Amino acid sequence: MATVARFAPSPTGMLHVGGARTALYSWLHARQRNGRLVLRIEDTDRTRSTPEAIEAIFDALHWLGLDYEQPAVFQSERETRHREAINQLLAQGDAYYCYASEEEVEAMRERARALGNKPRYDGTWRPAPGKTLPEPPPNVAPVVRFANPQSGTVHFSDSIRGEVAIDNTELDDLVIARGDGTPTYNLCVVVDDLDAGVTDIIRGDDHVNNTPRQINIARALAGAEAELPRYAHVPMILGADGARLSKRHGAVDVLTFRRDGILPAALLNYLARLGWSYGDQELFSVDELVDKFTLETVQAKAAVFDPDKLAWVNQEHIKTADPAALTDELAWHLRVFGVTDVDQTRLAEIAAVQQKRARTMQDMARDSLYLFQPVAAYDDKAVRKHIRTGTAAVLADLRERLMALADWHADALGATVQAVAGDHEIGMGKVAQPLRIALTGTPVSPPIDQTLALLERETALTRLDDAVAAFADDSDETGNA
Ligand code: GLU
């Protein structure tokens, strides 16, 4: 049977790392089997679902490159089908109306607790042969409960947790439709997975307690012989303090990582490794993950999120990427800084130079702004350190030679800077640092030949002119005269 995996987020907030990892595992599982991935937006909780959260899920998956079968399914649009399934269960005798009020159900739970049992609904309204049901109270809209089997054991084989067995006596009769007739999560999820032909349910282990109930509902709907989906419950992600990962641990929302300059491939690598390993390999391309990932090798214990390691993985990806693979993110970050319309070739050229030193894509964009924006001010500290009597003359000489240079290429440019240093009998740094300040306003930039080569000749010469004027021996050396 062809693999159909699904990712079923509830759009009640941003897509966080836990959700993204579940999506990634589902995507990898489907991809390596040439299967399909269904995205189902579980938006039935109208009060908590927001259009912004739906957009954020789409945006985050798109950014990560986790594609899915189009169009995405909106659970809220399937209500007719969910009601049909509830009616099927009612007609089969696998569900029944329950008129107990919230207070009564709470009292039942209390009684169970007092007897040292698990709090549960006591089955008052469950029909049974020979049983007389209470008279329905007037003006009460009943809920519908699933008549969970009362004996036997639900077995399922979880790819991550192994064999799981739950006695039906542990499970009470779940509400599948509220008093107003709206279907509940456990019903919707089963109907949607069955209808979509889902073969693999990979989801957070906060759902593991729902699984035996959902299997019972699925059996009731699809028949005892039907082949049901396989499960893999992915353990949660903790912060370094052992608490469930949340905002107070820093960035957890996927798109925040983008804003922080993380590459999608790096985040995917990091998330895949969070709770999964392949020998001691740390760095994986997406293709390698598709090749090597298996659910069976995901650890059953919770994983700890480590932002420093993510930063390291990110820098490694930046360093080793094909520059062309960095252009989308570079363009995105440049746009955030107000720089638009940079063509692909230029972006790749910049990335090729900057990738050796940028810690993040945000740094790469920021450190490349000098190429697009005039130098607004010279860094005071750098000026005090590197600009001396005579510096302006050195820069003026350099300017003349650069103007005359036949080729505007890193090699020729580097040689020219060296020649100026030699002729003035000063160290290379005494030319390169003032030059850097002239070109970028700061004392940090890529190797000086490349810093120059990335600039247009005209721009470089103009900036040198400005610096020569600003650093002239009789002027205020801060350039603010
Ligand atoms: N919508 C549920 C959630 O976001 C997931 C349901 C499922 O995967 O079965 O937690």
Q: Is the CB of 126 under 6 A from ligand 1?
A: no
Domain 321-373 in CATH 2.40.50? The answer is: no
Give residue 106's pLDDT.
95
Task: Tell me the CATH number for domain 1-71+186-320.
Answer: 3.40.50.620
Taking the C-alpha atoms of residue 272 and residue 299, their distance in angstroms, rounded to an integer, is 11
Whether residue 13 contacts residue 48, with contact meaning beta carbons closer than 8 Å, is answered with: no
The reply to whether the predicted model has a pTM over 0.85 is yes
CA distance readout (Å), 367 to 316, 357, 411, 431: 18, 10, 22, 20
Taking the C-alpha atoms of residue 469 and residue 481, their distance in angstroms, rounded to an integer, is 10
Count CB atoms within 10 A of the CB of residue 362: 20
- CATH class, range 81-177: alpha beta
- Angle between helix axes 51-64 and 264-273 (nearest 10 degrees) is 90
Q: Which of 15, 78, 207 has most ligand 1 atoms within 8 Å of CB, for mutation?
A: 207
Encoding tokens for residue 276? 């999964």
Give residue 481's pLDDT.
40
Q: Is the CB of 233 under 6 A from ligand 1?
A: no
Q: Is the CB of 9 under 6 A from ligand 1?
A: yes
Whether residue 198 contacts residue 68, with contact meaning beta carbons closer than 8 Å, is answered with: no
Report which DSSP code applies to 200: E
- Ligand 1: nearest atom to the Cα of 9: 4
CA Rg, the chain, in Å? 32
Residues identified as active-site: 247
Q: Domain segments of the chain: what residues?
A: 1-71+186-320, 81-177, 321-373, 380-478
For ligand 1, the distance from its centroid to the CA atom of residue 7, given in whole angstroms, is 8
Q: Which of 15, 22, 42 has most ligand 1 atoms within 8 Å of CB, for mutation?
A: 42
Encoding tokens for residue 473? 């021996």
For ligand 1, the distance from its centroid to the CA atom of residue 289, given in whole angstroms, is 24
Indicate the fold that domain 380-478 takes in CATH. Arc Repressor Mutant, subunit A (1.10.10)
At residue 74, the 3 state secondary structure works out as strand
Nearest CA to ligand 1 atom 7: 8
Whether residue 403 contacts residue 468, with contact meaning beta carbons closer than 8 Å, is answered with: no
For ligand 1, the distance from its centroid to the CA atom of residue 126, given in whole angstroms, is 28
Q: Is the CB of 42 under 6 A from ligand 1?
A: yes
Give residue 248's pLDDT.
83
Give residue 47's pLDDT.
87
For ligand 1, the distance from its centroid to the CA atom of residue 10, given in whole angstroms, is 6
- Ligand 1: nearest atom to the Cα of 22: 8
Residues lower than pLDDT 70 in the chain: 474-481
For ligand 1, the distance from its centroid to the CA atom of residue 332, given in whole angstroms, is 31
- Ligand 1: nearest atom to the Cα of 19: 4
